Amino acid sequence: MNPVQRFFRRYIFSTIGILALFFVVNIALVLSVMVAGYMSGTDNGLSVRSVSSHVTEQGGVWTADDTALALLREHDAWAMLLDESGTVVWEQDLPEELPRSYTSAQVASFSRWYLQDYPVKVWSREDGALMVVGFQPDTLVKYYFSMETPSLMMFLVGAIAVFVFNLLLMVFLMLRNTRRVEKAMSPILRGIQDLSRGSYQPLDERGELAEINAGLNRAGDYLMQKDNTRAEWIRGVSHDIRTPLSMVLGYASELEDDDALPTEARHQAGMIRQQGERLKSLVEDLNLTTKLEYALQPIRRETVDLAEIGRQAVSEVLNSGLPEQFEIAFSEEHPGSAARMEGDTALLRRMLDNLIRNSIVHNPQGCHISVTVGAEDGRCTCTVADDGVGMDDVRLEALNQETDVSSTQSGEHGLGLKLVRQIVKAHGGTVQFQQAVPHGLEVLVFFSENSNGRHI
């Protein structure tokens, strides 16, 4: 899954999560409101049963004590007591317009609905009488609901079906909208990724995001033109300097070998030759790192023996005349275990040459250099270590974080090590710089035996 698809998948999941949270919160709010309404709708202080318990009969006369009267006054309510025949045998603040006798049909009616405009509550006493407490109009709402069981089940199933349908419709519209956004944004995100890798394909400047595509096209054209100009300039300088540099090296070699010249002059000619060769190597590194950076150097992949490449690199250094203050040794970690991998022989050879030359250049007083190659657990390893002056922690951290750093004034300003990183990365490997024990610099390179690396 590429980063673009991963981004939109996280967007979809987060949207679904927000939608689920929305429903949970709303259901919780609805339940809270229903519970609060139920709690607030209960009889708090005025209960028909309480009023009825304070109305008693003494000698055929019904009377209410002060508690019942206080409850009725507190709630601005009236009350009446009906005997079994429906006749009012006791009343308190009963409105004049209401009758004093009721049929069984009227009792059944106002028990469920209203007594004229008055909402009432009833309580059936154990003695057969009926206590009725009434309130002022518009203070209570009474509603009688009745539905057959099949109709109720149909209503519930229909409500659930409507809810599920609306939920699925919301999810469908959300996914459809996300797909439209993904379709419009994917080319832009891929264009940004391509641009960061140094390759860019123009985007279609039509549609809803045409302005963004046009702006990205302009930025891509500018950066590609700038990079191409830089690469062309470096190639041109490398080409133009090659001829005069060859002449300088040739004449310096002749002067260094001319026995007729004084020793001091021959020594100076030798210094000119050495610095010229170093300048030639720097120009080659600059040209190669530019090709790798701008994908101008194809990787010629073939099965190579890393141990053989290491032996060749060490032999070339020895045959080119290694100064007496330097020692170099080659070894294999696991003799007999072939360190084979897919790679470019010339680039891997250049990687080892640069690492060895880095130890020589930065330790003019001399040092011991060891080159070790091995293969274990499905990967090839290569270590170049010296016991020289080493490198400070700041520059080591910058190198391990792939940040360009400057070396000493007499050094190569990190160009050789930058090229090492590029070659390792092009082969899908990793490189680590660290302090050697007890002192010096140690560079560890790891390659996967079956990794094809990065195509450039």
Q: Which of 35-39, 95-99, 192-196, 227-231 has the highest mean pLDDT?
A: 95-99
> Can you give the pLDDT at residue 412?
44
Distances (CA, A) of 208 to 180, 212, 434: 10, 9, 52
Mean pLDDT on 387-404:
83
Categorise residue 377: left if φ over 0, alpha if ψ from -120 to 50, beta otherwise: left
The type of residue at 114 is Y
Which CATH code fits 299-448? 3.30.565.10
The overall longest dimension of the chain from CA atoms, in Å, is 158
CA torsion angle 374 375 381 382 (round to 10):
20
State the average pLDDT for the chain: 81
- Domain ranges in the chain? 3-41+158-185, 48-134, 210-289, 299-448
Tell me, rounded to whole angstroms, the distance of Cα 161 from its chain centroid. Answer: 37
Cα–Cα distance for residue pair 322/360, rounded to 1 Å: 9
Neighbours of 14 (CB within 10 A): 10
**Closest by Cα among 80, 83, 60 to 72:** 80
> Can you give the pLDDT at residue 352?
92
Residue 122, beta-bridge partner list = 132
> Can you give the pLDDT at residue 204?
77
Categorise residue 402: left if φ over 0, alpha if ψ from -120 to 50, beta otherwise: left
Residue 345 or 23, more confident? 345
**197, burial (CB in 10 Å: exposed 0-12, middle 13-18, buried 19+):** exposed
**Closest by Cα among 390, 372, 374, 369 to 436:** 390
Q: What percent of the chain shows pLDDT beyond 70?
A: 86
Query: Tell me: the pLDDT tens digits for 85-119?
Result: 899 999 999 999 999 999 999 988 888 888 988 99
